Structure 1
Amino acid sequence: MNKNPEKPLKTELLYSGKYILLNRRGSWEYASRPHNMTAAVIVAIDEDTIILVEQRRIPFDCNTIELPAGLVGDEESGESVEDAAKRELIEETGYHAEVIHNLGEFASSPGMTSEGFFLIRAEVLTKVGEGGGVDDENITVHRVKLAQLSEFIVQKRAEGLVMDAKLLLLLGPALLGKTAFPED
């Protein structure tokens, strides 16, 4: 911890890859994205349905259930968050959003990484393609009725899939004790 705010701690670069950096500041090690790259995470609502994606994630060596998401500016320099969200939604799910709301920036895992993401709500969806991602992403698209979301998550966890923590946003009332939590 830097006890002298006038003398900031120096950041030491331990590793540099294409999409991730490993840094040390004082005794703290953390990951970051090159060039302060950020992500767009999309809550895609279609009437009474939410669009979720399933894909294999190497760090867990299994499939995960997530909100559609992707990096901003990884394909086009100067890309806006909103444009990246629209592009990623089509790439991953095959849906185009007519209405995009930027709900602000959030920290992914502040004790582990400096990475942030912008939460985007996408509405008025039209199916324009197959989705599935690019290259070898092999994304499976799930249209889940909001009323059945808790049961869907319980089922997928029982099958051994890992749930992205951002899905907790969708379970807010249950976490606050206002409705039954999926494990109850």
Structure 2
Amino acid sequence: MRARVRTKSKRRVVHEGNFLQFVTHGEWEFIKCKNCTAIVIIVAVTKNKEVLFVEQFRPPVGKVAIEFPAGFANDGGHSKRETIVEAAKRELLEETGYRAGRLEKILEGPVSSGCSSDLVTMYLARDVEKVAEGGGDEFESISVHKVPLKEADAWLASMKRKGRLIEPKIYAGLYHLKTYNNLS
């Protein structure tokens, strides 16, 4: 069965907040990030094969979540000409205090194709080194965890047992590390 593509209706913004737009397109309703050109996620690995995770309270779900460092490109608070790679480097440094030795794009796709028009690009940051404090910007309170890759699955399971939400994209990033990068 082929997917039907409908192009006759136009997108219409029905509500706009500080950061999000609520949009309709025919019978579909979805959200769109406002004032940003891209979303980046960074899978950061040290020379000693340790993976960086961030932990922070997320108001939409009302719980603490474990995630990879992530953020927006050109989100209004930064350079309007920021590239996606520059945003990935900035977000990694801002949230974790680590700088990437090398950065490579590993995947790109929808954040949640049924309810958001935004795409996310995931980068692998190799040989990251601690150069600053991290912890996020003035609106964030982020804890950074450095976990040996071979212990990551067990660590994530322990965090889940403690009531933390685990961002599903973590599993895609870890799969990529173990399958395509000989890092396990």
Aligned pairs for 1:140-151 within 5 A: 140-151=143-154
Select 1:83's aligned residue among 82, 86, 96.
86
Over aligned residues, Cα RMSD in angstroms?
Answer: 1.9
One-letter identity of the residue aligned with 1:27:
E
Deviation of residue 17 (structure 1)? 1.7
Partner Cα distance (1:27, 1:49) in 2: 46
**1:61 partnered with 2:59:** no
Q: Gaps (5+ residues) in structure 2?
A: 177-184
Gaps of 5+ in 1: 174-184
Measure how far apart 1:40 and its partner are.
1.1
In structure 2, what is the equivalent of residue 133 of structure 1? 136
User: How far is the alpha carbon of 1:28 from its aligned partner?
Assistant: 1.0
Note if contact 2:45-2:125 (Cα within 8 Å) is conserved in structure 1.
yes
Report the Cα offset of residue 136 of structure 1. 2.9
What TM-score comes out, normalization by structure 1 length?
0.86
Instruction: Return the alpha-carbon distance in structure 1 between the equivalents of residues 168 and 127 of structure 2.
Output: 25
Which residue in the other structure is 2:72 paired with? 71
Are residues 1:8 and 2:11 paired? Answer: no
- The CA deviation at 1:121 is 0.7
1:152 aligns with 2:158: no
Post-superposition offset of 1:150: 1.1
Q: What is the CA-CA distance between 1:34 and the residue it aligns to?
A: 2.4
Question: What is the aligned partner in structure 2 of residue 95 from structure 1?
Answer: 98
Tell me how many residue pairs correspond in the alignment: 171
Shift of 1:130: 1.1
TM-score by length of 2: 0.86
- In structure 2, the partner of 1:45 is 45
Residue in 2 aligned with 1:178?
none
User: Deviations for 1:81-117, whole angstroms, at most 9, x for unmatched residues?
Assistant: 1111111111000001121112242111101101111
